[in-house]
Amino acid sequence: MAIAYNYSRNFTKIAQKYSARPEVRTGVELLLTFLTISFFAVLAIRPTANTIATLVADIKTQKEIEAKLNDKIANLKKAQTVFAQESRRLALLDQAYPKGPQPDILASQLEGLAAQDNLKLETFNVGKTPLAGKVAKDQSKGAESQFELSFLVKGEYKNILTFLKDVENLRRLINITTISTAVSKKSGEEGKILLTVGAQIPYYPNTTQQK
């Protein structure tokens, strides 16, 4: 106890001695002022610092979202380009192998080719096939996915050859099964060739469920 008392007494004397000196008192006041300013500065700056940190994090998140959106936009543009390319191919496929028989369209095409090649389409016969509507699901297999047709054209021999090449170049699939030619015996038609063509026309059955 005596040692502690003496230590406290000595410390008090030293403190009184130095506090009496102006330079020491000024230094202590400056130190206390600095500590006070620092304390309140920390209290004032901390919310601002937190706000800035939050804003920086939000900006980073927004940039990441923007990058992902840009990637999605780029992918959509690529998909649109691919779709446009494939749509043209699908259009060609639909012309070659359409949904449903569509014999009326084929008849118009053949009639147009005949007129183009200075031939006359004499007859155009279509076998049993639905002209409109859908094929029953249990009837859409095998022979039901194609129909028979035959037609007869008349004209000059060279025009007949041109017509056959044009028929082969049609986009619509035509499986020619028979071809026969004959010379017209009608008066005033000497040299005219009669071309008779039999064919099978495949198509994609546009089916419906039969009840």
CB atoms inside a 10 Å sphere around CB 74: 10
* Residue boundaries of the structural domains of the chain: 1-96, 103-208
pLDDT of residue 142: 45
- Residues 96-147: tens digit of each pLDDT: 888 888 888 999 999 999 999 999 999 999 987 655 545 555 444 544 588 9
The tokens describing 117, both together, are 């090649």
62 phi, psi to nearest 5 deg: -65, -40
Q: Which residues of the chain have pLDDT under 70?
A: 1-32, 34-35, 38-44, 46, 49, 129-144, 207-211
d(C-alpha 152, C-alpha 114), whole Å: 10
Q: What is the CATH number of domain 103-208?
A: 3.30.70.60
Locate all alpha helices (DSSP H) within the chain, ordered by sequence: 2-19, 22-96, 103-116, 157-168
